[in-house]
A and B are shown apart, each in its own frame.
Chain A
Amino acid sequence: AQKVTQAQTEISVVEKEDVTLDCVYETRDTTYYLFWYKQPPSGELVFLIRRNSFDEQNEISGRYSWNFQKSTSSFNFTITASQVVDSAVYFCALSTGGNNRKLIWGLGTSLAVNP
């Protein structure tokens, strides 16, 4: 069975703190894709990043970084020097690609960055 677990339901930090959002996945497939989405208070779902199972290289985009570790089946997301605008619900998702287009979603982590 495929599953995505985001154990942190809510996180609250003070601006400029670093924060890591955890994502643990389960799949028996050798080819799969992992995603992070952001849902700000305005409600839209914004695609942040996609990672495939053959590429364990970490990714950095500005203040955002992602740590993919197959050994622990984790795909964690770190925001460095958090800002109030980072306040949102963040979702991790899994897909095995191919003909199956479905994403398996985590329940999301609500991040509040306080001034």
Chain B
Amino acid sequence: DAGVIQSPRHEVTEMGQEVTLRCKPISGHNSLFWYRQTMMRGLELLIYFNNNVPIDDSGMPEDRFSAKMPNASFSTLKIQPSEPRDSAVYFCASSYIGPYNEQFFGPGTRLTVL
């Protein structure tokens, strides 16, 4: 079975540009998580969805960040406009809503904003 799929794997952009990160969760999973990882702040949860509905977006840094999940098999994280401090690795993870909730991670998108 395919794991969590993220695209692109690497993104280099200039400050002010719009960036869209994409994620396809594991089939059958109904929770989806977006994380950001930096050396300074470690692993931070940005937002998560249950059954395509955003449940907790308290980790979203500011209005420049937005996330959508139009269906069970696709989610996007958009940054507009991007800033150098957004440079990080962004992970998407999915899990199944059940007694246990281990999350399975995608390979991540390494974003560099110049």
Contact = CB atoms under 8 A, between A and B. Distances in A.
B56 interface: yes
A102 B108 contact: no
B42 interface: yes
Contacts of B107: 43-44
Interface of A: 33, 35, 37, 43-47, 50, 52, 91, 95, 97, 99, 101-103, 105, 107-108
26 contacts: A33-B100, A35-B102, A37-B105, A43-B89, A43-B108, A44-B108, A47-B103, A47-B104, A47-B105, A50-B102, A52-B99, A95-B101, A97-B100, A97-B101, A99-B50, A101-B31, A101-B50, A101-B95, A101-B97, A102-B45, A102-B48, A102-B56, A103-B103, A105-B42, A105-B43, A108-B42
A52 B102 CA distance: 11
A71 to B, nearest CB: 23
Given A52-B100, A97-B101, A45 B91 contact: yes
B55 interface: yes
A47 B48 CA distance: 18
The size class of the interface chain B forms with chain A is 20 to 34
Given A99-B50, A101-B33, A102-B45, 8 more contacts: A33-B100, A35-B102, A37-B105, A43-B89, A44-B107, A46-B105, A47-B105, A101-B50
Interface string B27-44: 000010100000000110
Contacts of B31: 101
A65 B89 CA distance: 30
A79 B6 CA distance: 31
Contact of A50 (B50, B55, B89, B100): B100
Interface string B68-108: 00000000000000000000010101010101111111111
Contact of B101 (A46, A91, A101, A108): A101
A108 B18 CA distance: 31
Contact of A33 (B42, B93, B101, B104): B101
A9 to B, nearest CB: 11
